[in-house]
Structure 1
Amino acid sequence: MRKHHNYAVILIYLTLFLSSFLGRAQNDTIQIVPLITYIGQLEQENNVKFSYLDSDLRPIKITTPTAILLNEILADIERQTNLNVSKLNDRYYTIVKNPLVELCGILIDNFENSTIPSATIEVLGTNKNIITDGNGQFKLTDIPRDAHLVINHIGYKTKYISVEKLLTSTPCPVIPMTTNYEQLNEVVVYQFFTTGINKEQDASISLNTGKIGILPGLIEPDVLQTIQALPGIKSVDETVSDINVRGGTNDQNLILWDGIKMHQSGHFFGLISAFNPYLIEEVTLIKNGTSAEYGDGVSSVINIQTENKVRQNFVGGTGFNLLSGDIFGHLPLSEKVSFQFSGRRSMTDFIKTPTYNRFFDKAFQDSEVAENNSTEDTSILTRNEDFYFYDVSGKILYDINNKHKARLSFIHINNHLNYNETTENENQNSILKQSNLSFGGSLESNWTSRFNTHLNLYYTKYDLDAQNISSEAQQLFQNNQVLETALKLTTHYKLHNTLQWLNGYQLNETGITNHTLVTQPAFKSSVKRVGLTHSLFSELTFNSSNNKWFARGGMRLNYITDLKTFDTFSAISLEPRLNVNYAITRNLKVEMLGEFKSQTTNQIIDLEQNFLGIEKRRWILSNEETLPITKSKQASLGLNYERNSLYLGLEGFYKKVDGVSTTTQGFQNKDQFNGEIGSYDVSGLEFLINKKTKMYSTWLSYTYNYNNYYFQDLVPHKFPNNLDIRHTFTFAGTYTYKDFKVGLGANYRTGKPYTQPLEGEDAIDNSTFPNKINYAEPNSSRLSDYLRADASFIYHFTLGKQMKASVGASVLNILNKKNILNTYYRLNDNNEIETIKQVSLGVTPNFSFRMNF
């Protein structure tokens, strides 16, 4: 038995040895040889003759076929070489070149030796082209043998190669591509506070939401709340829908989302932003020195751009906080097409969290809801409020080729409130709906290395519908609707390495309707205006080769027409723009900015208590009768110093705005309903010092504003602006340790102006019907100072190889300081003066949990 076992082992080893030897011998017979040499070998072995041109075959090498039969060998040669082998008779064959050939190849990076997907292969002289797949491979059929290929990919030098040369190589040859290194001028940007917030070379502020670290009171990168951390920007009523930039009202900010003008920016009546931050790629804030391509927005431009690159892999995330839950994703559909989406909905209609309660108290404190909630006898009063909000957005990205990119975006924002109040004798129902629906498309084209164009068009619709129905048979309806369509073409031409030329045309058609219906007493009003604006703009940008100088100067020409009367109430409006920066030293820069701007849309403020008194702004269009075009002039001079981890910035500015109305400024005195036209000017100073290291960042900012109205028809003619906040201080800091981040900060500002009634018996004018309050001089009193401290923390961790997560918590107004945001007066049913005080948010906690995959 042992002997048979030994024989078996020897037999196995012998079999393995022979197999290895035969396999090695077979591999030795497979080699790359010149085609002419191999053809001569075939002639001798098979007693045949081949007729061919030496010049056709001499450069070609092949892998020796493994077939045995001659016809199979010849078929293999045809496959490898794209030659045509024809049999004349049993002895004679011909070999000629095919006029049309099949070609394949693999593109690789000649430095990293990695494959290059999404490169464009074009056959010159034909309409044939192809994109390399995810492995860098391509295959072309029926292409002329004498043609040439041009290979393009961003980041690589363009390559030209003949088809014939590739055919003489191995099948599916590897084609190396050389990286294109372009020497760029050094651009100095200053990073503020935390990662992702930068001051650019043209003095604009950019926010990269994907990189923004932590800020006090924020656990999510809400862009409209984040920008309020910057000097010169605040919200006097603690909202994101009422942002005041250098003393201007919120309707004087141009807010763009993927190039679409937005007429609604907030949820929960302005307390949180309506834009999901997790698909936003960058936000640009411009306070002065605006490019000529932007119209509107006499106070600022807030340009929000979503992610604009076609992804080859899926990314997404989901999360919730104590107000809402959301989901987002970016889904590749092919190598050229991807789709991104986001959705968010509140939980406020079925879960009443502490955050909701604080926000509700803040939003409704100046309304019928608050009044009735505070009534002493609630035994006979039944209340029911149904409030929710949501937003959805999407974007289709299509890279037509490496020169043309098409994009299609949409966003829908919605707020809904249904408030019902029932007593023994009365039932009252109030409904408020606010929505914004927008569609936009763009085409980016790089025609040459020096010339490119950008075409953008959009349609947007804003609706505010409100109704108030009571059992006393009175019904009140109000609608404010904005319809706007626009087209914009921008061209960029590179005149020189240091000189860029921008030109363009923009067409805006804006229609605004304000409709009011009251059943008892009967009243009906419907006002609709449509404005058409043609704009031409041109601009030159210079950036010196040593990066010491940056200069941009341009002009915008507006021609505005009222389509209702076909009259031009401002036939020509010229708006020069200037932006100059000079680096005095490596660490010190000086900037000089200036601009003229105008806008034709404004918001009037309805101070009545109708519709719960919570959404008081209504969009209107400028006209010759009641509201002219709003125009601004602004100039500023600034110094920026940065060395190592220290930044200091100082900027002084002056701004004058003409064409403002008492109805758009929110007057709460004897002049609030008159509609007089005037102006305001504001001079100010903004200072920021920021010390930042890898682990911590701390900063102190100070803003001084001196802001006054001028109304020729009012007495006195000059008085403080409603937004005249003289002094604003912010002191804050953040700390990062590994995956843990914490932020703590305090905001202090002096009180805003307001108008008090006269004292004593002169306070009420009983000679009119209805009676009126007699006020002192406008804005002659001031509220008490404002102070609020906030804190937040975020912890990041992983839930596996493909999933990251974070938890965060924040507390707004941790000191529970009861700041008075506004004070005004009205007469009650007993002809007594009531004092209405709007109070800031109390202690407001929030919590969030997020997952990204």
Structure 2
Amino acid sequence: MTRTTLSFLYIVLFFFSSLTVTAQINKETIPLVDFLKQIETKHNVTFSYADANIKGEAIILPPSGLSLTEVLDYITANTNLSFETLGNKILIIKKEALKPSKSFKTQYLEEVVISNYLTKGISLNNDGSTNIEPESFGILPGLIEPDVLQTIQSLPGIISVDERVSNVNIRGGTHDQNLMLWDGIKMYQSGHFFGLISAFNPYLTETVSVSKNGTSAMYGDGVSSVIDMQSSNNISKKASGGGGFNLINGDAYAKVPLSKKTEIQLSARRSLTDLIETPTYDQYFKRIFQDSDLTNNQNNSSVSKDERFYFYDTTLKFLYDLSKKDKIRANFLNVFNSLNYKEQSRVNDVDEELNSNLTQSNLAASVDYTKDWSSNLSTSIQAYVSKYNLDATNFDLINNQRLIQENQVYDNGIKTKLNYQFSDNLKLKSGYQFSEVGVSNLEDVNNPVFRSYIKEVMRTHSLYSELHVASNSQSTKLKIGVRGNYFEKFSKTHIEPRFSFNQRFLSNFRFEILGEIKSQTTSQIIDLQNDFLGIEKRRWVLSNDHTIPIIKSKQLSTGIRYNKNGLLLSAEAYIKKVDGITTRSQGFQNQYQFVNAIGNYKIRGLDFLINKQYDDTSVWLSYSYSKNDYEFKNLNLGNSFPNNIDVTHALTFAGTYTINKFKFALGFNWRTGKPYTKPEANNPSTGGTINYASPNSSNIEDYLRTDFSTTYTFKVADNTIAIAGFSLWNLLNKKNTINSYYIINDEDTISKVENLSLGITPNFSFRLRF
């Protein structure tokens, strides 16, 4: 660690020490939603409510030691809310109307099974999905801000084998097998800093829903998971916003009601990386640009480089309520990354300077119209477009060569939805989706002259229908649906049934079964490891029903949970098979690197979690076991072998602690190393070719990382609070190898290349919210 970094850490620690001395215990007003979550944990009850009924509500904390009945009476006396008991410890919150209506009918909403799962702002639903609310986010080890794609990695069964949010592996799948939606629009870029930071500003994201199995039939694509991000759809009563900075970027956001019927929401974030270098930037730079064109020639004294890197994102949303029953929403998002660097070299006594660059962007826009025909029937329609670009120009001064590469995706379509509630126990969701996706790829070389441009287009028509059934006591929940996809180009139809079943028994136990069949026509492949400067190697492609088939998956899981007095025990077993994958989509760096074959992978796994929560503490231990194997008929004599991202054992032990205005989090992450292939011991190479052993028959060393984070919240004005945060990623500075492979040199010798994880990485943030 450098002297500058040490000085920085001392300053931050001194800052927090000073805050500790001045911290005071005051009677405070907190958001009602936060108080309700405290009650759920303390008294082992579950609240069911419409978000609009408690949105913006706050309450002064009552005296400690009150019984559940006394607490509910206190809330009723200080708000216009009342409570109705349903079944076993389920409390429905109702907002009292100014004029009681005899026709009032209680609406039973989707039940939250477990709130404050691991930390504040994360909850489990009865359909097996997980909800994350960034606005209510507590704290997690290594995180001081609610980075969406970092946060979901705290959930069992979700990891990133190379620490990048652009490579999130959910139950053994590759990142392109995750359907990522922002306000209903499919996103093809998910990371800033080429994968180390989520590309989605969390401060205008109201909810994030993560489904690993039993996905709703309304979703197409995403054979591994669905990550559905939604911003607020309700017009606020007053303006709000905030802003802040950390050692990588600064941002600001605002929600501004223009009238009782209109509102504008906007956010902007930009990196500071091209303006100031920080210890965080230094570590990020070493991690993401290692083994790339930017750093591979550093040993060549005739080449010098000067890089400039930055990123930004902006969002804009316009809300217009035509009437109480008619609403229009317009959305816009722009995500952008840019890297430029100059190469200077002296060739034949002539000084040359050329500029290589890489840009990555995703533009998304949509218009939504929703109509409530009655209290039981509503419909909506959305028109959307998503455009992704990855462009690189690479100059090779030594070989006098220029390479241009482009990958573009243009996705547009229409979605319609119908929701009808027959009764409190039965509701129907149906809809239609049309999508047109065009993907193009360009390669242009000047020496020798070569140009290739390929464009494919796919049109898909989809119909779905889904029933939600619940027993009178709400102890039994069943969601069953089917989706039909018609692929116009291939004249093929694919039927995809989905279901989830949840049963509460013995008061504190829940049993669930989830299942789904899914398909997707877009995927990412790697042609060469040095494509796009060796940084963003993957390019999007469309299925052609021949060399790149439609990817299809089947998954079944079953689990049991016990939840009482703040103690949660959870175990879930699953089996998943994904057909139609290609070797080019898996990133092989062994004997199969240049082979084009079609196969499948099958994963069997078990996720276990124990989480104990107190009023101010949450401690959890999660463990995942999985066996993930490939099967390619034409490779390895048809025998199965370990998946490139097979991680057999993964364990996390972590905890959070809150005292007064401080929050602390500490966590340990351990997992077995992923597979790789060694050369044969007795005959490693022949004639400039590496002779490999059995594919993926070795494993890199185990991965171990310790993270720490803390935040301090204080009031700076009547309507303004400040949050200061400090984190240390990889606190012990463990040198973890995240990838290993071999190359052959000009001298016919073999060298081993190892990519390392982030070293100790400090970060500091300061935010204002009003």
TM-score, scaled to structure 2: 0.85
The answer to whether structure 1 residue 479 and structure 2 residue 381 are counterparts is no
> Which secondary structure does the structure 2 equivalent of 1:210 belong to?
helix
Q: How does 1:70-469 map to 2 (within 5 A)?
A: 182-185=105-108, 187-191=111-115, 192-373=117-298, 375=299, 378=301, 381-425=303-347, 427-469=353-395
User: Does the Cα contact within 8 Å between 2:112 and 2:123 map onto a contact in 1?
Assistant: no
**Deviation, structure 1 residue 156:** 7.1
Instruction: Write out per-residue CA displacement over residues 466-501 of structure 1, whole angstroms, 9 at most, x where no aligned residue.
Output: 011244441110000000001111101112221111
Letter in 1 for 2:119: T
User: Does the Cα contact within 8 Å between 1:581 and 1:590 map onto a contact in 2?
Assistant: yes
What's the counterpart of residue 676 of structure 1?
597
User: Does the Cα contact within 8 Å between 2:678 and 2:692 map onto a contact in 1?
Assistant: yes
**Deviation, structure 1 residue 176:** 5.7
**Deviation, structure 1 residue 544:** 1.3
Instruction: Write out per-residue CA displacement over residues 583-630 of structure 1, whole angstroms, 9 at most, x where no aligned residue.
Output: 112200100010000000000024432443111010000012311000
What's the counterpart of residue 25 of structure 2?
none
Structure number, greater radius of gyration? 1
What's the counterpart of residue 850 of structure 1?
767
What's the counterpart of residue 428 of structure 2?
501
Letter in 1 for 2:228: N
What's the counterpart of residue 730 of structure 2?
813
Q: How does 1:703-742 map to 2 (within 5 A)?
A: 703-717=624-638, 718-742=640-664
What's the counterpart of residue 804 of structure 1?
721
What's the counterpart of residue 18 of structure 2?
none
Does the C-alpha gap of structure 1 residues 245 and 610 become closer, same or farther in structure 2, counting only changes over 3 Å? closer
Instruction: Write out per-residue CA displacement over residues 514-559 of structure 1, whole angstroms, 9 at most, x where no aligned residue.
Output: 1101111121111110000000111111011201110011111110
**Deviation, structure 1 residue 182:** 4.5
User: Does the Cα contact within 8 Å between 2:107 and 2:424 map onto a contact in 1?
Assistant: no
User: Does the Cα contact within 8 Å between 1:468 and 1:610 map onto a contact in 2?
Assistant: no
> Which secondary structure does the structure 1 equivalent of 2:523 belong to?
strand
The answer to whether structure 1 residue 626 and structure 2 residue 626 are counterparts is no
**Deviation, structure 1 residue 424:** 2.3
User: Does the Cα contact within 8 Å between 1:764 and 1:774 map onto a contact in 2?
Assistant: yes
The answer to whether structure 1 residue 786 and structure 2 residue 703 are counterparts is yes
User: Does the Cα contact within 8 Å between 2:553 and 2:577 map onto a contact in 1?
Assistant: yes
User: Does the Cα contact within 8 Å between 2:108 and 2:424 map onto a contact in 1?
Assistant: no
What is the CA–CA distance in structure 1 between the aligned matches of 2:488 and 2:622, rounded to whole Å? Answer: 43
What's the counterpart of residue 82 of structure 1?
none
User: Does the Cα contact within 8 Å between 1:385 and 1:419 map onto a contact in 2?
Assistant: yes
Letter in 2 for 1:801: D
**Deviation, structure 1 residue 428:** 4.7
> Which secondary structure does the structure 2 equivalent of 1:777 belong to?
coil
Letter in 2 for 1:477: I
What is the CA–CA distance in structure 1 between the aligned matches of 2:604 and 2:448, rounded to whole Å? Answer: 47
Stretches of structure 1 that go unaligned for 5 or more consecutive residues are: 1-153, 158-174
> Which secondary structure does the structure 2 equivalent of 1:216 belong to?
coil
User: Does the Cα contact within 8 Å between 1:185 and 1:545 map onto a contact in 2?
Assistant: no
Q: How does 1:565-714 map to 2 (within 5 A)?
A: 567-568=490-491, 571-714=492-635
User: Does the Cα contact within 8 Å between 2:242 and 2:252 map onto a contact in 1?
Assistant: yes
The answer to whether structure 1 residue 795 and structure 2 residue 719 are counterparts is no
Instruction: Write out per-residue CA displacement over residues 325-381 of structure 1, whole angstroms, 9 at most, x where no aligned residue.
Output: 0000001111100000000000111211100000000001111332333x2x75x54
Does the C-alpha gap of structure 1 residues 797 and 586 become closer, same or farther in structure 2, counting only changes over 3 Å? same
Q: Work out the number of aligned pairs and report it.
A: 669
What is the CA–CA distance in structure 1 between the aligned matches of 2:549 and 2:467, rounded to whole Å? Answer: 31
**Deviation, structure 1 residue 322:** 0.2
> Which secondary structure does the structure 2 equivalent of 1:663 belong to?
helix
**Deviation, structure 1 residue 660:** 0.3
> Which moved further from structure 2: 361-370 or 673-682?
361-370
How well do the aligned residues superpose, as a CA RMSD in angstroms? Answer: 1.6
> Which secondary structure does the structure 2 equivalent of 1:355 belong to?
helix
Instruction: Write out per-residue CA displacement over residues 99-119 of structure 1, whole angstroms, 9 at most, x where no aligned residue.
Output: xxxxxxxxxxxxxxxxxxxxx
Does the C-alpha gap of structure 1 residues 211 and 324 become closer, same or farther in structure 2, counting only changes over 3 Å? same
What is the CA–CA distance in structure 1 between the aligned matches of 2:497 and 2:304, rounded to whole Å? Answer: 59
Q: How does 1:768-779 map to 2 (within 5 A)?
A: 771-779=688-696
User: Does the Cα contact within 8 Å between 1:428 and 1:468 map onto a contact in 2?
Assistant: no
The answer to whether structure 1 residue 749 and structure 2 residue 666 are counterparts is no
What is the CA–CA distance in structure 1 between the aligned matches of 2:102 and 2:338, rounded to whole Å? Answer: 54
Does the C-alpha gap of structure 1 residues 435 and 304 become closer, same or farther in structure 2, counting only changes over 3 Å? same
Among 516, 522, 532, the residue aligned to 2:459: 532
Letter in 2 for 1:332: P
Does the C-alpha gap of structure 1 residues 179 and 844 become closer, same or farther in structure 2, counting only changes over 3 Å? farther
Stretches of structure 2 that go unaligned for 5 or more consecutive residues are: 1-93
What's the counterpart of residue 65 of structure 2?
none
User: Does the Cα contact within 8 Å between 2:181 and 2:187 map onto a contact in 1?
Assistant: yes
What is the CA–CA distance in structure 1 between the aligned matches of 2:442 and 2:453, rounded to whole Å? Answer: 4
What is the CA–CA distance in structure 2 between the aligned matches of 1:660 and 1:685, rounded to whole Å? Answer: 23
Does the C-alpha gap of structure 1 residues 582 and 696 become closer, same or farther in structure 2, counting only changes over 3 Å? same
Instruction: Write out per-residue CA displacement over residues 643-690 of structure 1, whole angstroms, 9 at most, x where no aligned residue.
Output: 011001100000000000000011111112211000000000000000
What is the CA–CA distance in structure 2 between the aligned matches of 1:695 and 1:608, rounded to whole Å? Answer: 48
What is the CA–CA distance in structure 1 between the aligned matches of 2:342 and 2:112, rounded to whole Å? Answer: 57
